Amino acid sequence: MEFPGILQHATDAQSTAVPVRWSRSARLGDHELVLAANGAGAQRAASAVEAALERFPAEAIVSTGFCGALAPELEIADVVVGSAISAGSRTFPALYPASTRPHQMGVVCSIDHVAQTAEEKRRLRAGGGSVVEMEAGGVAERAAARGVPFYCVRVVTDLAGEDMANNFNRALRPDGHFATMSVLRGALRNPLVRLPELLRLRSRCVRAARVLGDFFADCRF
């Protein structure tokens, strides 16, 4: 769901042989791209980097996709460029792409689960994070190990002050995918609250993906 906006601006998009869950090669302006999605979590993201680099001699690696806001001023579909990645006890620097599109800058907090509550987001914010997600730490570590320039560009799909009624962590499978039926069964236990949240999240993701694509179309790395 995170790549349609980028692909809308791209040309020559086609499937690749990269052994991950989903991948496409494409051209975006002067850039040749390989887009790879491999499920949630740092380990799966790191594996995607390694698999892609076996077939594509990348001059830069970008961790991108959705995130949750930690800074209370961030709104839905705000683009945040990572100034650094905080992943457990490690911190990885990130480079800044040039863009005239509106965006914020801040530390990306990369954790091993979905930050579901406003209280957890407040704790992460107190540690210096601006947004939270699950993959950038794995991508940053592999980029550093390979000596490849690293960027992180994220777009907000949930706000700092929001709690999630649906338990996405319970639905996260070992293969990095969210079990759709598990989410739906949970939603039906409290349909007046949980079903509207799912619909709202989907709408936000569609909007955020479009904004992310517009940002990448304007970027210079």
pLDDT digits (tens, 9 = 90+) for 104-118: 999 999 999 999 999
Report the DSSP pairing between strands 79-87 and 104-110.
parallel
Residue 104, pLDDT score: 97
pLDDT tens, residue by residue, 63-95? 999 999 999 999 999 999 999 999 999 999 999
**Whole-number Å distance between alpha carbons of 99 and 42:** 27
DSSP 219: -
Q: With contact defined as beta carbons under 8 Å apart, do 195 and 106 qualify?
A: no
Residue 79, pLDDT score: 98
Which of these, 19, 37, 18, 39, lies nearest to 174 by C-alpha position?
39
- Report residue 62's pLDDT band, with 50, 70 and 90 as the boundaries: very high
The pLDDT mean for the chain works out to 96
**Whole-number Å distance between alpha carbons of 62 and 214:** 16
Task: Give the 3-state secondary structure of residue 124.
Answer: helix
* 11-to-26, 74, 89, 194 alpha-carbon distances in Å: 6, 32, 40, 38
pLDDT tens, residue by residue, 135-176? 999 999 999 999 999 999 999 999 999 999 999 999 999 888
Give the domain ranges of the chain. 4-218
Q: With contact defined as beta carbons under 8 Å apart, do 127 and 109 qualify?
A: yes
pTM above 0.75, yes or no: yes
Task: Give the 3-state secondary structure of residue 175.
Answer: coil
The CATH number of 4-218 is: 3.40.50.1580
Please state, as a whole number, how many other Cβ atoms lie within 10 Å of the Cβ of residue 182. Answer: 16
